[in-house]
């Protein structure tokens, strides 16, 4: 590989990627990496049966491509780029996967599929996988924060695509054992594949959205790492130079944010694992319903009216949507009737036509609240329930469970995974949960524990 004269930030990022496998990582970071690994594997295995995941697996299987990277759950394999693509399509097939609010992307659905494919391809260890996961969150989040978008409304380019790509590339590059110069090339090859526009929010079926948020990033990240490992030559200063990444995409560029706090501030600790397997803006709403009714079913006849106030810049994402997992009115009705919202109930299309649900939805009103848009932490909600007897119940969710300000414990992550995995895996997910959260593991053990019932 020819020597290239990169700037200090490119060199610092490249060195961080190249050294990640041997770096000392705090135990709390590795614990969170384990939690995000489990959470994303649960999203992949459940997403396998949803439209986006079904397409991804079908496409990969029809390609006839051979390789040593697993199409998780199926016992089948493909080349690392294609396996990363298929698993990532499943990982964001709905709204089960994690997110990073400040980075404005969903890390797990791209970083984990890319990391797993690269780990299998390179035959690396489970310990290396966990470090690579943390690395992917570090690089992915910084790549979008450095662009300086003021708000989602000013984000012309899709940070969900960019952060996912940089995170996937970094994770794959670490697992393929790139040295410093190869990692510099990786950054350039990543930049040249950076793409994405925010019209993804017009996707009615969450299929191209899965491609935008996870699959193209996972595929391209692995591909960039393979090209860098093969010695492909590249220009210099891909991030900070003339016509480079920041100049092309940023609103208010701050190059220092690309590397600020590396090795000291771990972005996986700032990521969110959703308590509820539903759209992000609905998390605070369901927290409020649980607080108001203590997780117990409510008699719909006792309720006169429910008013849900959401941030004005988020309400459109979940207002009266046709998919159950992203429809706020539908999920509030389920929470009130059932006492809790499970993965199964939030993905039951038939219940959207249920008479009891329909009647209760007529009592639910969503209101846009500009003050909640400015409130911090983000994504707050206010729910007010007026009872027939005149009682008024109100709860303002200021801190959402699962966010960095109120993180879920490993036990809670395991409980969420059990809810999702129990119907899918022969042992109800116990082996996979134990491997992810408690044991030293090999990648082959992890893959074996993901084998779905139909392929067992």
Instruction: Indicate if the pLDDT at residue 204 is higher than 90.
Output: no
- Region 402-431: what's the mean pLDDT? 98
Confidence label for 150 from pLDDT (cuts 50, 70 and 90): confident
Q: Summarize pLDDT for 8-37 with one digit per residue, the tens.
A: 999 999 999 999 999 999 999 999 999 999
pLDDT at 456 over 90: no
Exposed (0-12), middle (13-18) or buried (19+): which is 121, by Cβ within 10 Å?
Answer: buried
Chain segment 219-245, per-residue pLDDT in tens: 999 999 999 999 999 999 999 999 999
Q: Rounded to two decimals, what is the model's pTM?
A: 0.96
Per-residue pLDDT reduced to its tens digit, 78-95: 999 999 999 999 999 999
Collapsing DSSP states into helix, strand and coil, what is residue 343? helix
Q: Which two tokens stand for residue 128?
A: 């290396």
Q: Are 272 and 316 in contact (CB under 8 A)?
A: no
Average pLDDT, rounded, for the chain: 96
pLDDT for 163: 98
pLDDT digits (tens, 9 = 90+) for 355-404: 999 999 999 999 999 999 999 999 999 999 999 999 999 999 999 999 99
Q: What pLDDT is recorded for position 5? A: 83
Residue 3 scores a pLDDT above 90: no
List of domains in the chain = 8-270 (1.10.4100.10), 280-397 (3.30.1330.120)
Write the pLDDT tens digit of every residue in 251-281.
Answer: 999 999 999 999 999 999 999 999 999 999 9
Report how far apart the first and last C-alpha atoms of the chain are (Å, whole number): 45
Q: Could you please report the per-residue DSSP string of 127-193?
A: HHHHHHHHHHHHHHHHHHHTT---SGGG--B-HHHHHHHHHHHHHHHHHTT--HHHHHHHHHHHHTT
Q: pLDDT digit string (tens) for 49-88?
A: 999 999 999 999 999 999 999 999 999 999 999 999 999 9
DSSP 240: T
Q: Average pLDDT of 172-190? A: 98
């Amino acid at each position: 590989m020819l020597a290239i004269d990169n700037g200090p930030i490119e060199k610092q990022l490249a060195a961080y990627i190249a050294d990640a496998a041997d770096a000392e990582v705090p135990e709390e970071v590795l614990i969170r990496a384990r939690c995000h690994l489990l959470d994303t594997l649960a999203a992949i295995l459940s997403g396998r049966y949803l439209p986006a995941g079904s397409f991804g697996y079908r496409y990969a299987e029809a390609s006839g491509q051979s390789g040593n990277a697993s199409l998780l759950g199926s016992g089948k394999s493909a080349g690392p780029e294609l396996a990363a693509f298929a698993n990532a399509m499943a990982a964001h097939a709905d709204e089960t996967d994690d997110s990073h609010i400040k980075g404005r992307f969903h890390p797990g659905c791209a970083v984990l599929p890319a990391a797993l494919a690269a780990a299998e391809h390179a035959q690396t260890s489970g310990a290396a996988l966990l470090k690579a996961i943390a690395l992917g969150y570090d690089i992915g989040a910084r790549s979008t924060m450095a662009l300086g978008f003021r708000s989602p409304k000013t984000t012309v380019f899709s940070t969900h695509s960019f952060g996912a790509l940089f995170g996937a590339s970094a994770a794959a590059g670490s697992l393929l054992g790139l040295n410093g110069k190869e990692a510099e090339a990786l950054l350039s090859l990543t930049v040249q594949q950076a793409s994405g526009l925010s019209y993804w929010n017009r996707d009615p079926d969450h299929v191209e959205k899965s491609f935008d948020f996870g699959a193209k990033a996972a595929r391209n990240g692995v591909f960039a790492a393979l090209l860098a490992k093969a010695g492909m030559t590249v220009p210099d200063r891909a991030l900070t130079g003339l016509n480079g990444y920041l100049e092309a995409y940023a609103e208010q560029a701050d190059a220092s944010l690309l590397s600020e706090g590396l090795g000291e501030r771990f972005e996986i600790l700032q990521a969110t694992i959703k308590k509820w397997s539903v759209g992000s803006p609905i998390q605070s709403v369901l927290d409020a319903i649980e607080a108001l009714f203590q997780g117990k079913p409510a008699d719909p006849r006792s309720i006169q009216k429910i008013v849900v106030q959401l941030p004005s810049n988020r309400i459109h994402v979940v207002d009266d949507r046709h998919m159950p997992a992203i429809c706020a009115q539908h999920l509030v009705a389920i929470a009130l009737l059932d006492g809790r919202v499970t993965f199964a109930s939030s993905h039951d299309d038939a219940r959207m036509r249920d008479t009891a649900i329909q009647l209760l939805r007529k009592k639910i009103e969503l209101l846009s609240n500009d003050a909640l848009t400015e409130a911090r932490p983000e994504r707050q909600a206010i729910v007010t329930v007026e009872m027939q007897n005149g009682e008024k119940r109100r709860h303002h969710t200021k801190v959402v469970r699962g966010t960095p300000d109120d993180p879920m414990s490993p036990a809670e992550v395991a409980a969420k995974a059990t809810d999702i995995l129990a119907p899918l895996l022969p042992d109800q997910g116990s082996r996979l949960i134990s491997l992810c959260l408690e044991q030293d593991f090999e990648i082959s053990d992890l893959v074996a524990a993901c084998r779905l019932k139909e392929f067992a």
